[in-house]
Amino acid sequence: MKSTPPDGPRFISLEGLDGSGKTTQIDRIVDFCEQRNPRGVVVTREPGGTEVGERIRHILLEHGSLHPQTELLLLFAARVQHIKAVVAPALALGKTVVCDRYLDATYAYQGHGRGLGAPLIDGLSELLAVPPPDLTLFFDVPVSVALGRRAGRSADRIEAEGEAFFERVREGYQTRVRAQPERFVVISAAKSLAEVALAVDAALAARL
Ligand code: Z5A
């Protein structure tokens, strides 16, 4: 397991169910990181973050049939490009990287949600030398809250899954938190926007 760099966590991922509110908080997180790191902050996302990654994102989210293993390999294809072209160069320049979803999403959605299991994801991560984040903010909400926030929005291929799928995804995230508690901060994201913002501030102040 990677240890936190001496200048504090610089590779930060945001995770949670769709509708958990992580993207709503991202500007606040970036502002905070900018104050702490004069070398700058790169904001990015997965799947995506590069031209080819955004094209793969489109394939992943558009409707149609994809075998779960195909879905997994497309996510890793986008991830490798993202790490090589965006994440690793930014970290090498001393910047902070804030990534809206990363590797834990794969364990939660593909490992638990699709039932592919963790060993396959462990193996691909090791084979492809996928670096773990230094710090992960997990925006935890009950599935009913996440689905309620999304109501009325058109659903992409993954969002169109049923409640049981998202319950497995949430369990998948919680399993990751239990396995690596030192890397995660769990934010109770069912609270009001103001309360979630305060919890984010407290988490960042304690860790950065
Ligand atoms: N995916 C995967 O399967 N495997 C992987 O390895 C990776 C990803 C990396 C795209 O992710 C999909 O990729 C995702 C998992 C899969 N699919 N699903 N489901 P994404 O992160 O790009 O897409 P998203 O999850 O759909 O992001 P989002 O739409 O930006 O959702 P969010 O960031 O969790 O929530 P939000 O946009 O900040 O908030 C949602 C709504 O709630 C919005 O109207 C807010 O105003 C409202 N909100 C936010 N916070 C609150 C509070 N506290 N109270 C009340 N209302 C709130």
pLDDT tens digit sequence for 125-170:
999 999 999 999 999 999 999 999 999 999 999 999 999 999 999 9
- DSSP per residue over the chain, as a string? -PPPPTT---EEEEEE-TTSSTTTTHHHHHHHHHHH-TT-EEEEESS-SSHHHHHHHHHHHSSS---HHHHHHHHHHHHHHHIIIIIHHHHHTT-EEEEES-HHHIIIIIIIIS---HHHHHHHHHHTTPPPPSEEEEEE--HHHHHHHHTTSPP-TTTTS-HHHHHHHHHHHHHHHHH-TTTEEEEETTS-HHHHHHHHHHHHHHH-
- Distance separating alpha carbons of residues 75 and 125, to the nearest angstrom: 11
Going from the Cα of 141 to the center of ligand 1, the distance in angstroms, rounded, reads 11
Q: Residue 8: what pLDDT?
A: 84
Tens of pLDDT along 53-96? Answer: 999 999 999 988 999 999 999 999 999 999 999 999 999 999 99
Cβ(204)–Cβ(32) below 8 Å: yes
Decide whether any atom of ligand 1 lies within 6 Å of the 130 Cβ: no
Ligand 1 atom with least separation from CA of 190: 53
Decide whether any atom of ligand 1 lies within 6 Å of the 21 Cβ: yes
Residue nearest to atom 27 of ligand 1 (CA): 18
Decide whether any atom of ligand 1 lies within 6 Å of the 196 Cβ: yes
The CATH homologous superfamily to which domain 11-207 belongs is P-loop containing nucleotide triphosphate hydrolases (3.40.50.300)
pLDDT band at 1 (very low <50, low <70, confident <90, very high): low
Decide whether any atom of ligand 1 lies within 6 Å of the 166 Cβ: no
Residues 30-57 have a mean pLDDT of: 98
Domain ranges of the chain: 11-207
pLDDT band at 114 (very low <50, low <70, confident <90, very high): very high
